[in-house]
Amino acid sequence: AARRPAMPKRQRESSLTLQQRIERIMSDKDDDVGSKLCTASLEWDDGKVHEDYFAVLKPHVEKLDADSIESQLFFESEAKDDEAVLQEAHFLVRSNTIGEEDEAEMKAAAPADRKRMLFVLLMIDADEEEVVEGEE
């Protein structure tokens, strides 16, 4: 049997570099910036990405309006040391913003991941507050 010529394979998601995957997420026209930043955070969830989330995404956030909630929460979260991250997570549990399981997951994570997780939780909370305010 004659061999068929090899068809070029579509570039698989896993073969893309982290930067390429982040570019793809951040260029999605259908999502708002907060959703994109949270989606990008998923790249770190499997523990295979060792680059700092804030360093990788900073160029994208710097393009935003400095007064935007996304920009403010990003830079506030980036600036927190590990103790402040843990204190804020505990405060969020006490204020019923996040569950105790979220806090336990953060405590079990590496410091850089805790900071990223806190940012995502704050973004989700800010987005939920915006939705509630919009309904009033």
Long-range contacts, 80-89 (Cβ 8 Å, 24+): 80/115, 80/118, 82/111, 82/114, 82/115, 85/111, 85/114, 85/115, 85/118, 86/114, 88/118, 89/114, 89/118, 89/121
pLDDT value, residue 46: 86
Summarised one tens digit per residue, pLDDT across range 14-38 is 689 999 999 999 999 988 999 999 9
Q: Does residue 2 have a pLDDT over 60?
A: no
Residue 13 CA to residue 5 CA, distance in Å, equals 24
Summarised one tens digit per residue, pLDDT across range 77-132 is 999 999 999 999 999 999 999 999 999 999 999 999 999 999 999 999 988 877 66
Confidence of residue 9 (pLDDT cuts 50, 70, 90): very low
Summarised one tens digit per residue, pLDDT across range 38-70 is 999 999 998 889 999 999 999 999 999 999 999
CB 76 within 8 A of CB 83: no
Residue 49 CA to residue 119 CA, distance in Å, equals 17
Task: Give the residue extent of every domain in the chain.
Answer: 17-135
pLDDT value, residue 91: 95
